[in-house]
Amino acid sequence: MSLRIGTRGSKLALVQTERACKALTDLGIEVETAVIRTKGDAETGVPLHEVGGQGIFVRALDEAIIDGTIDAAVHSMKDIPAQRPRGVVTGAVLTRDAPGDFLAHEMRINEVRVVGTASTRRQAQFLRHDPEIEVKQLRGNVDTRLRKLREGEYDAIVLAEAGLDRLGYKVKGERLPLSQFVPSPNQGAIAVVCRNDPEIIDQISALNDPRTRKDVGIERIVMQEVGGGCFTPQGIYCRDGHLTAEVLSLDGQRQVRIEEDISTPEEAEQCGRHLKREASDLIKEAYKQLGLIL
């Protein structure tokens, strides 16, 4: 049986898909790829919260799996929403790459005043770090963002370190500390989602890394309990069962943060519920300020 693997058309998506397909081919599994265009790729000039959030990058591929156009799709796992459609499952999670953010800049760090990002989390964390920083909207693929940096539209831009590594890009700047810039849940992880078909799952599951899957699974449970999706400024990161999770106000001046060692899904659920209770006002406030309905 040959597997038909779907992907977005961006350079990063294609590199990630190639990695998964090569791993499957090395196992003797025949694959072919299909590029699926998403609404998120088409509307790059609009803030993510105005076009449906990170889930817009996944929706078209989910639909292609359900209707049988493709058997599976490769995603940056942080783009996958908490709520998943019936008939689509996560077949494998690859070994996690660098989980954190990278600040790309060519000037001296103390001269940076304007930072580009489309992420409410990154915005809030930067404003917490330095309230005098101006955060400006920045969308587009990695090449587009780096071009805008070179053209001087921003003093610095924030990118996922894993994306730069996968593309083989050497960029001036610095890795941001995980303790201050807690990553998005599942950042640095690649997931292969597929139709809920035992034969397909059996082939895809050969790529699974149990350690990564456990950590990102904890992150997803907490994310689901907290809610708010990518609209809420929240960082959730787990390494070998040690969880750090926080919710911030959009201006970065208030926060609720927890750190716990998690060994079971039930403990992750409890942590997520606790964080949601403590941060409920911040979550509601973020939605109101963004003009969204919770």
CATH superfamily of 209-289: Porphobilinogen deaminase, C-terminal domain (3.30.160.40)
Q: Mean pLDDT throughout 177-202? A: 97
The C-alpha atoms of residue 115 and residue 153 are separated, in whole angstroms, by 9
Could you tell me the two tokens for 56? 């817009």
Residue 167 has pLDDT above 50, yes or no: yes
Confidence tier at 294 by pLDDT (50, 70, 90): low
Q: Do domains 101-175 and 209-289 have the same CATH topology?
A: no
Residue 41 has pLDDT above 60, yes or no: no
pTM for this model (two decimals): 0.89
Q: Comparing C-alpha atoms, which of 235, 248, 216, 229 is closest to residue 131?
A: 248
Q: Please tell me the predicted confidence (pLDDT) of residue 87.
A: 95
Q: Please tell me the predicted confidence (pLDDT) of residue 57.
A: 73
CATH topology of domain 1-95+189-208: D-Maltodextrin-Binding Protein; domain 2 (3.40.190)
Mean pLDDT, the chain, rounded, equals: 92
Confidence tier at 55 by pLDDT (50, 70, 90): low
Residue 45 has pLDDT above 60, yes or no: no
Domain boundaries, the chain: 1-95+189-208, 101-175, 209-289
The C-alpha atoms of residue 249 and residue 195 are separated, in whole angstroms, by 38
Check if CATH label 1.10.290.10 holds for domain 101-175.
no
* Segment 254-275, tens digit of pLDDT: 999 999 999 999 999 999 999 9
Tell me whether residue 79 is one of the annotated catalytic residues: yes
The C-alpha atoms of residue 64 and residue 42 are separated, in whole angstroms, by 17
Catalytic residue among 71, 79, 101, 215: 79
